[in-house]
Amino acid sequence: MADARSEVLARVRAALRDRPTPPEVPRDYERTGDASLALLAERVAHYRAAVHEVGPDELVPLLARLLAGKRIAVPADLPWQVPGVTWLVDSPPLPVAALDGADGVLTGCAAAIAPTGTIVLDGGVGQGRRALTLLPDHHVCVVREDQVAGSVPQALARLDPSRPLTFISGPSATSDIELDRVEGVHGPRRLEVVLVRAT
């Protein structure tokens, strides 16, 4: 008997005996859209995540206020210095129990999508590995204005699919019981997004 791989491929080829023509893909759907912080803020808030908007100079004071006195997990290359916080730096990698016990996690992001209220992490600078933003119960994520895309197509064009990507649209949620939305199942129960204006 042939091996499974050859047999499945042979079955596929036999099934396509009628040689269907691969159609051209019509790409006349919208490619661009509103990339404003205002829209992103509205759409993120719709998922019942907290949203803050600040100028570049106000970022560190805001983070200091949000995280004061807490034990916060962070990737080793976090670009901000915030006073008054106990940092749990993920280098060497924190054990899951430590992540699970942290009060929260602070990261940046790789991109955001305004119309869908989505932030995307790709494990790049200031984001860390995926478990870091998963186990702590509170995720504070900083988004720069220049990272915001106005559409899903624009966002995907900016991302590198060979990196591990996480698209986050609001806190974890379920609607499995009578379609009632409940925020906070297994992922962070609180998502707080900090939008930083370019100027």
Partner 1 sequence: MGTRNPVTWLGSPAFPEAARTALADTQLRRNLRNATTTIRGRRAAAVAELPDWERLRRAGEAIKDRVLAELDTHLERLEAAVTARGGVVHWARDAAEANEIVLRLVGDEREVVKVKSMATAEIGLNEALAAGGVRAVETDLAELIVQLGDDRPSHILVPAIHRNRAEIREIFRRSGLAATGDAPRELAEAARAHLREKFLSCKVAISGANFAVADTGSVVVLESEGNGRMCLTLPEKLITVMGIEKLVPTWQDLEVFLQLLPRSSTAERMNPYTSVWTGVTPGDGPAEFHLVLLDNGRTATLADPTGRQALRCIRCSACLNVCPVYERTGGKSYGSVYPGPIGAILTPQLVDDPHDAQAASLPYASSLCGACFEVCPVRIDIPEVLTHLRARVVSARGRTAESVAMAAAAWVFGDPARYERAQRLGSLARFLGRDGRISRLPGPGAVWTASRDAPVPPRESFREWWRRNRG
Q: Which of residues 123-182 bind partner 1 (CB under 8 A)?
A: 123, 129-131, 134, 152-153, 156-157, 161-180, 182
Distance from the first to the final alpha carbon of the chain: 68
Nearer to partner 1, 17 or 198 (CB): 17
Taking contact as CB under 8 A, which single stretch among the options 1-9, 57-65, 76-84, 140-148 is the one that binds partner 1?
1-9
Nearer to partner 1, 29 or 69 (CB): 29
- Judged by CB under 8 A, the residue of 97, 146, 198, 199 near partner 1 is 97
| Closest residue by Cα to residue 86 from 76, 71, 100 | 71
Nearer to partner 1, 129 or 144 (CB): 129
CA distance 154 to 156: 6
Q: How many CA atoms lie within 13 A of 161 on its CB side?
A: 2
Taking contact as CB under 8 A, which single stretch among the options 23-31, 53-61, 79-87, 101-109 is the one that binds partner 1?
23-31
If binding is defined by CB under 8 A, does position 25 make contact with partner 1?
Answer: yes
- Judged by CB under 8 A, the residue of 138, 188, 192, 193 near partner 1 is 188
Nearer to partner 1, 61 or 164 (CB): 164
CA distance 160 to 197: 24
Chain mean position to CA 185? 17
Site for partner 1 in 48-77 (CB under 8 A): none
* C-alpha distance from residue 150 to each of 44, 141, 153, 170, 192 (Å): 14, 19, 9, 18, 21
